[in-house]
Chains A and B, each alone.
Chain A
Amino acid sequence: MPAVSKGDGMRGLAVFISDIRNCKSKEAEIKRINKELANIRSKFKGDKALDGYSKKKYVCKLLFIFLLGHDIDFGHMEAVNLLSSNKYTEKQIGYLFISVLVNSNSDLISLINNAIKNDLSSRNPTFMNLALHCIANVGSREMAEAFAAEVPRILVAGDTMDSVKQSAALCLLRLNRTSPDLVLMGEWTARVVHLLNDQHLGVVTAATSLITTLAQKSPEDFKTSVSLAVARLSRIVSSASTDLQDYTYYFVAAPWLSVKLLRLLQCYPPPEDGAIRGRLTECLETILNKAQEPPKSKKVQHSNAKNAVLFEAISLIIHHDSEPTLLVRACNQLGQFLQHRETNLRYLALESMCTLASSEFSHEAVKTHIETVINALKSERDVSVRQRAVDLLYAMCDRSNAKQIVAEMLSYLETADYSIREEIVLKVAILAEKYAVDYTWYVDTILNLIRFAGDYVSDEVWYRVIQIVINRDEVQGYAAKTVFEALQAPACHENLVKVGGYILGEFGNLIAGDSRSSPLIQFDLLHSKFHLCSVPTRALLLSAYIKFINLFPEVKGTIQEVLRSDSQLRNADVELQQRAVEYLRLSSIASTDILATVLEEMPPFPERESSILAKLKRKKGPGNLHPDLDENRKERSANGGTADHSSTTSNAKVLLLSCCLLIRMTHCFLIVTVTSPKVAASPTPSTDLLGLGSTITTQNSAPPASKGTSLLVDVFSENIAAFPVETPVAVGPVADENFSRFVCKNNGVLYENQLLQIGLKSEFRQNLGRMYVFFGNKTSTQFMNFAASVPADPTVDGGAQLQQILNIECMSDFVDAPVLNIQFRYGGTLQNVAVKLPITLNKFFQPTEMTSQDFFQRWKQLGAPQQEVQKIFKAKHSMDTEVTKAKIMGFGAALLDGVDPNPSNFVGAGVIHTKTTQVGCLLRLEPNTQAQMYRLTLRTSRDTVSQRLCDLLSEQF
C-alpha cells in the first residue's frame, strides 16, 4: 500500500482504498463497499458521539464510494456538521462532500447556507474562501437566492484580501451563469470594473472573467471596461517576459490574462475613441509581430501559450472586421500554420480561417491558400483535421474556384471517412447548385455524388436535382441523356434509379429520337432495375411507366403487359397493387386526349431556398456557415431547445402512409376542374409531421378508378410530386375542443369551422393503429394548395371530401398528442388550422379478463407508492351506470364484473402495448352518488402510465 504523501493521513481511508483496488471483481468490490457502508452507518447511528476526525474520515470514505459511481443516501447530515467544525481540515472535507453531493433537501440547504454565512462573516480568509468555493461549486438557485447580494459586497469591500476577492469574483460569475435574474447590477458594478486596474494580477484575471460574463448580459453597464482592458493589455504585451514574475508562463507574459482581456474586448465593437483604438491596434500588431520572432523556448508550453494569445487576437480582429491590413496579416499568419508540424496548430488555423473567409477584406487572401487546404484534405492523418479542411473549402468557395473545389471534394468523397460523408455530400450539392453557371455541370455533379456515395445522398439532395431539372428547360435533354447513360451501369444505386425513373418519365421523349435510346430500350433499362428496388422506388417506377404510355404510345402494349402481371396486380404491397390496378385501368379506358392531360409534363416548382441548406444547418450547427457568432449562439440554443423538446414528446410515432384517396363527387359541375390534372412519379418526402421528431413517410398514391369512366379526369386531379414540401407555417392555437371526446371512442367529427370539417375513423390493435382522416370542403369553392402537414392532394373541390390514412405506432408511453397542421388556400386567403389528433395512450389498451383472485393479487403486487395514482373529482355528467360501463370499455380496459365486493364500484384491467414494452394496468372507479363524486385509482407498473391514464379517464365522467 502506498503511503499517503502529505497532510493529514487518514489511515483508515487509505486502507479502504487499497482494499477496493485489490478487489478482483466487480462483485468483490460491491461486497467490500457494502460492508463499509454498513460499518459507517452503524458508526453514525451509534450511541457514542464521534469525534471530528472519525466523522471526517467516514464522510471522506462515503465521498470516495460516491465518486466510484455508487449511490450514497446518507451522511449528508454528518457532512453538514463538519462545516461548523473549527478545524480547517474537517471543514474542508465537509465542504467538499457538500459540493460533490448536493442534495436539494430543503432542511439541509438552510443548514448549509447558515454554515456558509458564518464562514463568510468570519473574516478568516481561508474560511471565507472555502465558503465561496462551495457556493461556486454548487451554484444552485437556493444558494443564489441566499448569497447573490452578499458576494458582490465582499468582492468590492476595501479590506477584502486578494485571494478572497478572486474567489468572490468567480463565485459571482457562477451565480450569474446559473441564475442571471438574481444577480442585480448596482453600485458595485463600477467598482468591479476598476478591479481591472488592480495591482494583483490574480485579482485582475478573476475579475476579467467576471466582467466578460456580465458584459454579455448588460454591455452598457460595463462599457468603461474597454479602455481599462486595452490599457492593461498594452502593458502586458509590451512588458519584458520576466516583468510579471510568476505570471509569466514559459516566457510568455500572463497568457491567461491576455486571452481573457482579448475575449472581453470581443463583447464590444471597435473602440470609438481614436487614441484607445490606436493603442489596441498597436497591441494586436505587437502580438502578430511576436509570432514571427524566434521562439524563446523549445517547449510546447511556450508555443501553445504564445499562440493561444495570437489566436484570441485574431478572433478579435475578425470580430471587429474593420482593419483590412490586420485581417490580411492574420490570414497570412494562419497560412503559415497550415503547414506547421504541430497537428493542433493546423487544426486551429483551418478553423480560424473559416471565419476569415467570410470577411470581404480577407476572403481573397484566404483563397490563395486553396492548394494547401486541398492538400490537407488529402494528406492529413486525423479525421478531425480533414473535417476542418472540408469546412474551410466550403467557406472559401465562390464562383471563381467552385469547379475546382467541388471536384476535389467529390474525389475525396470516394475515400472519406463514413462519419463525414453525408456532410460532404450536402456541401457539394449546395456548392454545385449555388455556383452552377451551366446546369449540365450541376447535373453531372449530383449524379457523381450518387455514384460515389449513394448511401449518403439524402432525399433532399435528389429531390432538389429533380426540381432544378424540371424548372430549367435547357438542361432537360442533357439530364435525360446523362441519367440514361448512368443507368447502363450494371450495378447502380437506388437513388440513381429514382432520379432516372423520374427524369426519363418526364423527359424520355427528348432522347427517344436516338435509336440507342428508343422508348423500348429506355423502358427495358428502367424495368431491369425494378426488381432490385425497394417499394417506394418501385412505386415511383410504376408512375414513370404510365408516363411512358403517354409519351410513347408504341410501348403501351408492353407496359400494360407488365402492369397486368400477377407480380404487379396482386402484389402483396397495397401501394404497388393499387398503382398497378389504377394505371392499367387508366391506360385502357382513357382516351389519348385525357391521358395527355392527366400525364402532362410537371409544371415548374416555385423557387425557394434549397431544403438541403436547411438540412446542413440542422446537421452541422451553423458554426461553419455564418461568421456571426451571436447569431450562431442564438440558433444553437434554438436548436438545442427543439431537440430537447422532441426528445420528451417523440413517443407517438405516426406513419402517414397513404393519403389522398377518393375524391367523392357529389356535384356534376365538378367534372370540369380548372387545374391541369397530372400524375407523376412521386418522390416520397418524409416530413416531420408533428414537429415531434417522429418519422413519417408519405406516399401519395393515385386514387382508384372506381367511379364512372366519365369522371376519370377528375379522379386524377392530382399534382403530387409537384407539390412543394412547405416549410411549417406558424399556425394559430391548436384546436383540441373535441379531443377529450375521442378518449373513449374512435369515430366522429374532430373539427369543424365554416369551411372545413374533419372527421375521424380509427382502429387500434396492440401498439399499432390506423386513423382515417376525412377532410370535407363545406363550401362550393375549391380549396387550393391544400396540405395537411404533409403533401396531400393540393386541391379539394367544393363539396368534395378528401381522405388521409395515418398509420400509428406507439413506441413508448407518451403524454402529448400529435398535432395535425392543415393549410390551404380558400378564395384569396391562406387558411391555417391546427388540430390535436386524438391519439392517446389508452388507445393501445388490450382488455384483459381475470378472476377476482388474480385481480387482487396483482393489485397488491403493484403496491409501490409511485405505481399508484389516485384522483378524487366531481362528476361532470350524470352518474349513469351503463354510461360509465360503456366509457370504461371504450377506454380500452376489460370491465371486470363481480371483482369488487361493492357492486356499485367498477374495476377494469388491461395491458398497454408499446413497441418496446407492455404495461399491465388495473383501475378502480368508486362513484359516490350522494356527493356526486368519483374516486379513481390506477395502478400500473410504470408511474408515468398510471398518471397519464388517470388524467385521461378522470376527464370522462
Chain B
Amino acid sequence: MQFMLLFSRQGKLRLQKWYVPLSDKEKKKITRELVQTVLARKPKMCSFLEWRDLKVVYKRYASLYFCCAIENQDNELITLEIIHRYVELLDKYFGSVCELDIIFNFEKAYFILDEFLLGGEAQDTSKKNVLKAIEQADLLQECCMTDTVSQSFSMV
C-alpha cells in the first residue's frame, strides 16, 4: 500500500498515512485530486479505480471515506477488508466510533493504525492482538472519561 487517506463527505482530510516518501506539496496535490475523484463517484459504483499508475480502493462508512492506494499487483478485495478491519478496530476501541472521535482523538487513530499496518503491510490481522497492544498503552494512563456519541458508523 502506498498511502491511506480518511476524509469526510465535505472533503475534509481526517487522517493521512504515507508509506512512500513524497514532498508535502506532492501529498497535498494527491490528496486534493483523489478526494475530488472519489467524492464525484456515485454510491453504487465499484470500489476500485485506476488512478495514475496505481489502483485506488475506497469505501464509505457513514460520513467518512476510507481510501487506499495500492500497487498494480496488489489485491483489491483484501485491501477493502483491511479498511474494514481498521474500522472495526476503531469501533471497538472508541465504542461505536464516529467522525468526531477521530477528529478529537486523531493521535489515537494514528496509534491504532500503526499497530495494524506498518510500512503499508498488515502487521497483525487479529483484532484481539491489535487491541491488546493499544489497551496496554492506555493502562499506563490516567483517567477515563465518558463519551457522548453523536453519530455512529452504520457498519455491520
Contact = CB atoms under 8 A, between A and B. Distances in A.
Given A246-B126, A249-B85, A304-B80, A178 B107 contact: no
A177 to B, nearest CB: 7
A205 interface: yes
B49 A384 contact: yes
Contacts of A63: 107
A301 B81 contact: yes
A93 interface: yes
A530 B95 CA distance: 73
B123 A2 contact: no
B90 to A, nearest CB: 11
A100 B113 CA distance: 13
A209 interface: yes
B129 A246 contact: yes
Contacts of B53: 621, 636, 640
Contact of B133 (A163, A247, A257, A299): A163
Interface in B68-96: 72-73, 75-78, 80-82, 84-85, 93-95
B28 A136 contact: no
A174 B125 contact: no
B123 A173 contact: no
A878 B15 CA distance: 64
B21 A133 contact: no
A305 B81 contact: yes
Nearest to A166: B123
A308 interface: yes
Contact of B137 (A88, A133, A173, A381): A88
A129 B116 CA distance: 12
A927 interface: no
B152 interface: no
Given A9-B145, A304-B81, A305-B77, A206 B138 contact: no
Interface string A338-370: 000001101110000000000000000000000
Nearest to A63: B107
A64 B20 CA distance: 21
B107 A6 contact: no
Nearest to A212: B121
Interface in B110-139: 110-111, 114, 118-129, 133, 136-138
A638 to B, nearest CB: 12
Given A5-B94, A205-B123, A259 B21 contact: no
Contact of B44 (A170, A178, A343, A348): A343
A308 B124 contact: no
Nearest to A319: B73
A88 B107 contact: no
B118 A2 contact: no
A403 B75 CA distance: 34
A8 interface: yes
A311 to B, nearest CB: 6
Contacts of B85: 249
A254 B145 contact: no
A345 to B, nearest CB: 9
A171 interface: yes
Given A64-B106, A171-B119, A5 B101 contact: yes
B148 A2 contact: yes
Q: How large is the interface on B (under 10, 10 to 19, 20 to 34, 35 or more residues)?
A: 35 or more
Contacts of B81: 249, 255-256, 301, 304-305, 308
Contacts of B101: 2, 5
A25 to B, nearest CB: 15
A650 interface: no
A632 interface: yes
Taking chain A's interface residues, is the majority helix, strand, or loop, or is none over half, making it mixed?
A: helix
B78 A256 contact: yes
Contacts of A173: 119, 121
Contacts of A307: 77
A132 B72 CA distance: 27
Given A348-B76, A382-B45, A632-B72, A139 B119 contact: yes
Contacts of B75: 259, 263, 308, 311-312
Contact of B145 (A4, A205, A247, A621): A4
A69 interface: yes
Contacts of A132: 118
B100 A344 contact: no
Contacts of B20: 177
A178 B18 CA distance: 13
B105 interface: yes
Nearest to A140: B21
A381 B72 CA distance: 24
Interface in A191-211: 201-202, 205-206, 209
B41 to A, nearest CB: 8
B122 A256 contact: yes
Nearest to A129: B133
A384 B45 contact: yes
A126 B137 contact: yes
Given A17-B104, A623-B72, A178 B145 contact: no
Given A311-B77, A629-B73, A8 B106 contact: no
A8 B77 contact: no
Contacts of B28: 69
Given A9-B143, A623-B72, A246 B127 contact: yes
A8 B142 contact: yes
Interface string A372-399: 0000000001101101000000000000
A343 B114 contact: no
A41 interface: no
A167 B141 contact: no
A597 interface: no
Interface string A131-148: 011001101100000000
Contacts of B136: 126
Contacts of B84: 301, 304
A247 B126 CA distance: 5
B94 A6 contact: yes
Given A140-B21, A202-B123, A93 B107 contact: yes
A171 B142 CA distance: 31
A255 B45 contact: no
B45 A343 contact: yes
A384 B44 CA distance: 12
A266 B148 CA distance: 49
Contacts of B140: 87-89
Interface in A813-857: none
Nearest to B142: A8
A385 B45 CA distance: 9
B104 to A, nearest CB: 6
A91 to B, nearest CB: 10
Contacts of B126: 201-202, 246-247
Contacts of B63: none
Given A163-B129, A255-B78, A308-B77, A174 B94 contact: no
Nearest to B145: A3
Contacts of A178: 21
Interface in A290-310: 299, 301, 304-305, 307-308
Contacts of A205: 122-125
A469 B156 CA distance: 62
* 5 nearest A-B residue pairs (beta carbon): A174-B119, A308-B77, A202-B124, A170-B118, A5-B147
24 contacts: A2-B100, A3-B147, A7-B138, A7-B141, A9-B143, A67-B106, A69-B13, A88-B141, A96-B107, A100-B110, A167-B123, A171-B119, A174-B19, A174-B120, A201-B126, A202-B125, A202-B129, A255-B78, A255-B81, A259-B78, A263-B75, A311-B77, A343-B47, A344-B48
Given A17-B103, A384-B46, 16 more contacts: A2-B101, A2-B104, A4-B145, A6-B94, A6-B138, A60-B107, A63-B107, A67-B16, A67-B106, A139-B21, A202-B126, A299-B156, A305-B77, A307-B77, A315-B73, A343-B47
Interface of B: 13, 16, 19-21, 28, 42, 44-50, 53, 72-73, 75-78, 80-82, 84-85, 93-95, 100-101, 103-108, 110-111, 114, 118-129, 133, 136-138, 140-150, 156
